[in-house]
Amino acid sequence: MLGIHRQSPRLWRCGERELSLEAPLVMGILNVSPDSFYDGGRYLNFDAAVERARQMADEGASIIDIGGESTRPGADEINVECELERVIPVVREVCRSVDAAVSIDTRHLAVAASAVDAGADIINNIMPVDGDVGMAALAAGSGAGLVVMHMRGTPRTMNTLTNYDDVESDVYNMLRRSVDFVIEHGVDPAQTVVDPGIGFAKESAHNLRLIAHLDRLTSIAPVLLGASRKRFIGEISGTPGAEDRLGGSVAAVLEGVRRGASIVRVHDVRESVQAIALFNALQEIGD
């Protein structure tokens, strides 16, 4: 039966860590790749990457999400050895020296496994896990937190796979099946969160509908929203450059939180933490 294993939305078990979800958490993005759509190349240097992780933690990030492969639309796949060389030294040092949970952003089992061995607390897997026993087994065996995301195809092909009969129902049903699948393969429900995959095989109208109805997904598991500086913000606001999309990114964060997001994945930690703090203060007065 679908949907029978559901957790309290107030706790995320991530290995030896337990992250409270009583208030929204900020996940800071750390791309150690040369071609990510916004900050590609900024943190290829080991010292620069570790310093950025420290900075984001100081600014209020509860989680540092480290990725070594661009998953922007049209991106080519890199070989696993290259990805490992980019991310594992950074994961190891950030786990050792930064006071935040560490997430590995990857679609490759070997990279996820090596990152967990190096100390990562969370597997942020962008590929569908329904049928992928390997990722489920890794999460089950390690106890790492697991992000279950909606996506079609690969980064190279996903923009050709944007036809939906009903994007809300399609995303909901796929995520529900995927969470049931990983639980059936030994993952504790308290390890899982779901991500609607904003921008992954979705057009601007799809992204808006998913954010506007994000609360529907909270019946499956806590929700992670990653909309930071993505192309749909530029299409709606007339800002083609990702560097000009901070305002829209913060707006997406606040609407996501209002609609029930437990974690927001962002490039701009300081601004997002500040916006959420003000939002929460206003909510308390309103209540």
Give me the residue spans of the domains in the chain: 11-226+260-267
Q: Which residue stretches of the chain have pLDDT < 70?
A: 1-9, 35-42, 72-75, 286-287
DSSP assignment letter at 191 = G
Q: Which residues are catalytic?
A: 230, 265
Contacting residues for 186 by C-beta, under 8 A, at least 6 apart? 136, 137, 140, 141
pTM, rounded to two decimals: 0.92
What separation in angstroms does the CA of 218 have from each of 3, 8, 158, 172, 214?
Answer: 12, 10, 25, 10, 7
In this structure, the number of other CB atoms found within 10 A of the CB of residue 2 comes to 11
224, burial (CB in 10 Å: exposed 0-12, middle 13-18, buried 19+) = buried
- What per-residue confidence (pLDDT) applies to 7? 44
**The predicted structure's pLDDT at residue 157:** 85
For the range 52-58, what are the long-range contacts, defined as Cβ-Cβ under 8 Å and sequence gap of 24 or more?
Answer: 53/28, 53/90, 53/94, 53/98, 53/100, 54/97, 54/98, 56/28, 56/30, 56/100, 56/269, 57/28, 57/98, 57/99, 57/100
pLDDT of residue 130: 73
Of 136, 229, 221, 243, nearest to 187 by C-alpha is: 136
Helices (H), 27-146: 46-59, 80-97, 109-117, 133-142
- Which CATH number is 11-226+260-267 given? 3.20.20.20
pLDDT value of position 245 = 94
